[in-house]
């Protein structure tokens, strides 16, 4: 008799399991809502789907988050029946049901950029009953996101220089709104506004313990901003998910102030600026840093035995002086900073009492 009861229990569990134990299926970025639904329905997806069931989790140990109607035992808010053991199918399909209470998301989903899983099925990411992660998420944010966004997963996994915004706290949702946003790539704000919201303290350090710049203070005090900064596009130069290069840079940037000229060292700068502007000895068009047609960038960079790198003269984010000229450059091993007294003039510019005595350049005809 006990044996029969046990078998009956198993059979009963199997009978009610399909609606409760539906596996969530992750879709690849760019998938339409229909593709998300189709993938969920596919038998193959059950074998390859990411971990995360939609069934209620056991109540002990207590889940991290619980959906109010489930917690209150009000199955009929979402299901056809009030019976928790056999609640039956949901009364409406897709986000329509969720939006009856989560009405603010109707507005969110009208934003210009929306997330396909959010358009198609809230249960792509959320367990509608309870979950071991906050906000009823099926997994912790980064694991959940990278189950579809595998290219990002690879960047994060292989990064020699990790970004704490990705690896800690709310992880991906530190920067991205997973439902809808006014900015591309579901960013909560433009890159600069996001980055500056954290990089605005004196206490931030990198993985090696080196202090990072307080960007807000720096930009407040230096009004000549580099183009990408003015365009609020930090990701022009930085890879926010993690990078092989220091300071999360996308490409190589010369770490030294003096080095023989090698264009490969300037891969970051040359991703925007023309290499020919620095390797052409004579030009009247490629650069305004010229005396007549003598290219002064060429002169400074290609000097035999003492080529200057970009950072010798330029600040990368912002400067007080025009043309992003820095105030001073370290010279020698004694810690002395050589001031760069740069002056922009109507016909060009000049540098005085610096690496050399005053020198003036003219790149425009005199009026």
Partner 1 sequence: MLFRPALRLALLLALTAGASSLHPASAAHAAIGAEVSNAEMPLLEGGKAYALGEVAANVLVFFRPKQERSLEALRELAQCQGGLSGKSVRWAAVVSDSAPADEIAAIMRDTGFTAPVLVDRGDALYGSLGLALHPVVVLIGKDKRLAAFEPFRSVDFCTVVAARIRHALGEISDAELQEILSPPKATQGGSVQVARRYRAFAEALLKDQKADKALEMVRKSLDKDPLLAPAHALLGKILATQGKCADAIPAFSKALELDAESATAKEGLEGCKSVR
Give, for 24, the enclosing helix (H) or strand (E).
none
Out of 56, 69, 88, 94, the residue judged to bind partner 1 by CB under 8 A: 69
Q: 235 in helix, strand or coil? A: helix
CA atoms of 327 and 144, how far apart (whole Å): 46
**Does 343 interact with partner 1 (rule: CB under 8 A)?**
no
Interface with partner 1 by CB under 8 A: which range of 17-25, 53-61, 138-146, 180-188? 180-188
Closer to partner 1 by Cβ: residue 25 or 155:
155
Q: Are 294 and 302 a contacting pair, CB within 8 Å?
A: no
| In the complex, least distance from residue 4 CB atom to partner 1, rounded to whole angstroms | 38
CA atoms of 145 and 199, how far apart (whole Å): 24
**Does 106 interact with partner 1 (rule: CB under 8 A)?**
no
**Does 311 interact with partner 1 (rule: CB under 8 A)?**
no
**DSSP H helical segments within the chain, as ranges?**
2-20, 33-41, 43-48, 68-71, 95-99, 104-108, 116-120, 141-146, 150-158, 164-167, 191-198, 215-221, 227-230, 276-279, 296-301, 310-313
**The two structure tokens encoding residue 175:** 């920067």
Closer to partner 1 by Cβ: residue 158 or 182:
182
Interface with partner 1 by CB under 8 A: which range of 67-75, 157-165, 309-317, 332-340? 67-75
CB count within 10 Å of CB 366 equals 6
- Binding mask 186-225 vs partner 1 (x if CB under 8 A, - otherwise)? xxxxxx-x-------------------------x---xxx
In the DSSP assignment, the letter for residue 192 is H
**Does 66 interact with partner 1 (rule: CB under 8 A)?**
no
**Does 276 interact with partner 1 (rule: CB under 8 A)?**
yes
Positions touching partner 1 (CB under 8 A) are 68-69, 72, 74, 76-77, 100-105, 108, 111-112, 177, 179-191, 193, 219, 223-233, 235-236, 271-274, 276-277, 283-288, 318, 322-324, 344, 363-364
């Amino acid at each position: 008799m006990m044996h029969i009861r046990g078998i009956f229990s198993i059979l009963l569990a199997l009978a009610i399991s399909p609606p409760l134990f539906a596996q969530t299926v992750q879709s690849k970025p760019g998938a339409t809502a229909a593709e998300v639904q189709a993938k969920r329905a596919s038998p193959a997806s059950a074998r390859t789907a990411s971990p995360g069931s939609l069934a209620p989790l056991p109540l002990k140990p207590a889940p991290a988050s619980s959906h109010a109607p489930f917690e209150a035992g009000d199955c009929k808010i979402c299901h056809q029946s009030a019976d928790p053991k056999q609640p039956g199918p949901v009364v409406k399909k897709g986000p329509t049901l969720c939006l009856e209470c989560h009405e603010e998301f109707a507005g969110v989903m009208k934003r210009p950029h929306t997330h396909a899983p959010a358009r198609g099925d809230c249960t792509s990411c959320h367990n509608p009953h309870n979950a071991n992660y906050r906000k009823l998420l099926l997994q912790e944010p980064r694991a959940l996101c990278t189950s579809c966004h595998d290219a990002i997963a690879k960047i994060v996994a292989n990064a020699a220089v990790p970004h704490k915004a990705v690896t800690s706290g709310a992880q991906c949702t530190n920067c991205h709104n997973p439902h809808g946003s006014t900015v591309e790539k579901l960013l909560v704000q433009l890159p600069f506004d996001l980055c500056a919201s954290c990089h605005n303290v004196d206490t931030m350090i990198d993985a090696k313990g080196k202090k990072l710049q307080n960007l807000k203070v720096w930009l407040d005090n230096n009004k000549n901003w580099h183009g990408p900064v003015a365009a609020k596009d930090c990701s022009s130069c930085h890879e926010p998910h993690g990078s092989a290069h220091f300071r999360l840079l996308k490409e190589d940037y010369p770490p030294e102030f003096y080095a023989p000229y090698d264009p490969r060292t300037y891969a970051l700068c040359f991703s925007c600026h023309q290499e020919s502007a620095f390797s052409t000895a004579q030009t009247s068009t490629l650069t305004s840093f010229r005396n007549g047609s003598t290219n002064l960038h060429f002169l400074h960079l290609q000097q035999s035995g003492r080529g200057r790198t970009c950072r010798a003269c330029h600040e990368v984010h912002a400067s007080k002086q025009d043309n992003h000229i820095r105030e001073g450059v370290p010279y020698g091993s004694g810690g002395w900073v050589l001031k760069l007294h740069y002056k922009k003039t109507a016909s060009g510019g000049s540098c005085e009492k610096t690496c050399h005595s005053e020198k003036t350049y003219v790149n425009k005809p005199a009026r």
